[in-house]
Structure formats: structure tokens, C-alpha cells
Amino acid sequence: MSRRRLKIVLSYDGTKFLGWQIQRTGRTVQGVLEESLDKMHKHPVKVVAAGRTDSGVHSTGQVCHFDTDLDIQESNFSNAINSFLPNDIFVRKSCYVNTDFHARFSARKRVYKYYLVDYSGYNVFNRFYCTPVRNLSGLDLLNGCAQKIVGVHDFTTFTSVRDQSETRVREVYSAVFLREREFTVFRIEGNAFLWKMVRSIVGSILKYAPADDSGEELSRILFSRDRTLAGTTAPAKGLFFHRVYY
């Protein structure tokens, strides 16, 4: 049987995962997914993802690839994998791709969404999927800050000092706050993101927006590359890895 490369799009509820990346102990998305694929294939299968999400972060559009020697029709592969997966991971789509496709390196654009909610809209049903905020600023104020993030920048201010990327320069294509039902959602598109970058940007905008209608303060801390000026990193549970473009 020839080997073919499969691309899959994954949703997962990050609540009960210690993030994407496999670890020696603890439940991870990669670990659970590979375990299921190992059972299907009856040999180990290595999965590559577009992005490594942290503990508690959700996904509606994580993309992965792996090579398979199973002769399963493209359209049936999702169902086949789902029958092995627990109910907090779900394969939404699957298709065969060229072997030069790489879930991580071929990605052109990644989209994250961060869900905020006023305390009046926070409830027992959305408690794992958004972050409640007191006196949440209006869209105008939030977007005054968000627009300052757009462009090619060194995002050192907004990443952990432990981030090990070779360069901290990334391009943000768009960054906007919008309303979605009871939520205020921060939607950010970029070529790639540093570790904790989205959550740190959200935390910083929440910190500076109330007194910064022009976004000047946010520009200043972005250019300072001084980690200590960032706001508190927003909680993982509000973050969704939304989509990857190739």
C-alpha cells in the first residue's frame, strides 16, 4: 500500500487537555490523537500541527497532517478517526494532500479569536469558553488600541521571556474587536504568533484601553519591547485557535 499524506481540521475543547504538545505525563491533544491513530493504523503515527496550543486553549480550526498507509476514502477518514476519539476532540474535515504539504511550515495565515464577556453575560454554560471582565470598554476604545498591533513588529513585549523563537518579529494582518452575541471578541490574523502572544495582547489592551482612546500607550509599550509593561496575560479558556490558511 502506498503512503499518502492526510490533512485534517480539528476542533477540541481544551478544558481537559494540558495543551497540544505531547508530554511525559498528562493528557494532551497530540497524545490522545496519536493514540487513536496508532490504534487505527496498528503502528505509531506522528502528527504535525499548525500551532501548539497551551493548556486550556480551545480550537475550532487546528490543522494537522500525517502520513497514512490505510486505504480509506478521503470523505470517510474523518468518521473513521472520530470513532476512536473521545468526545472532546472532533475531526471536522479530512483530505489527501501532496507530500510537500506541511501543516506548520506551509501555513500562510493563522487566525485566533479571544472571547470576553461582561459579568452580566457570564454563566455556568460558557464558563470554560470566555473570560469575564468588569466594566469592559466599548468597541471604539478597544479598537483604538487593537489597530496599533497591526503590521510587522518585534512582539517581545507580548511574549514570555521563555519564548525560544529565533526572532520575535511577526506580521499581524488584522486585529479587531467585534460583537458576537453576548461576547466581545478579539479576532487577530497573522503569519505566526509567539508563545502567549495573543493572550498577552488581550491582557494589555484590557489594561490600557480604558484610559487610552488613541492607542498611544499601547504603541509605546509595543515599541518598548519591555515585557514588564504588558498587562496580565489573559486566561487560556477565552482563546480559540480559529483557522489556518494555506
Q: Which residues are catalytic?
A: 54
Torsion of CA 81, 82, 83, 85, to 10 degrees: 100
**Residue placing its CB nearer to a second copy in the complex, 55 or 60:** 60
What is the three-class DSSP state of 242?
Answer: strand
- Cell numbers placing 65: 497532517
181 binds a second copy (CB under 8 A): yes
87 binds a second copy (CB under 8 A): yes
Closest distance to a second copy from the beta carbon of 88 (Å): 5
Give the C-alpha distances (Å, rounded to integers) separating 50 from 53, 63, 172, 182, 193: 10, 5, 17, 30, 11
**Residue placing its CB nearer to a second copy in the complex, 116 or 201:** 116
The stretch near a second copy (CB under 8 A) out of 11-19, 68-76, 192-200, 204-212 is 11-19
Provide the mask over 13-52, with x wherever binding to a second copy is found by CB under 8 A and - wherever it is not.
x---------------------------------------
Q: State how far the Cα of 200 lies from the Cα of 184, in Å rounded to an integer.
A: 17
**Residue placing its CB nearer to a second copy in the complex, 86 or 210:** 86
The stretch near a second copy (CB under 8 A) out of 5-13, 35-43, 48-56, 147-155 is 5-13
Q: State how far the Cα of 152 lies from the Cα of 161, in Å rounded to an integer.
A: 20
11 binds a second copy (CB under 8 A): yes
Closest distance to a second copy from the beta carbon of 124 (Å): 4
127 binds a second copy (CB under 8 A): yes
Site for a second copy in 89-108 (CB under 8 A): 89-90
Beta bridge partners of 6: 66, 96
Closest distance to a second copy from the beta carbon of 13 (Å): 4
Give the C-alpha distances (Å, rounded to integers) separating 164 from 4, 56, 156, 195, 209: 33, 21, 11, 9, 29
Can you say whether the dihedral through the CA atoms of 16, 19, 22, 23 is positive or negative? negative
- Cell numbers placing 44: 505509531
Binding positions for a second copy, rule: CB under 8 A: 11-13, 58, 60, 87-90, 123-125, 127, 129, 181
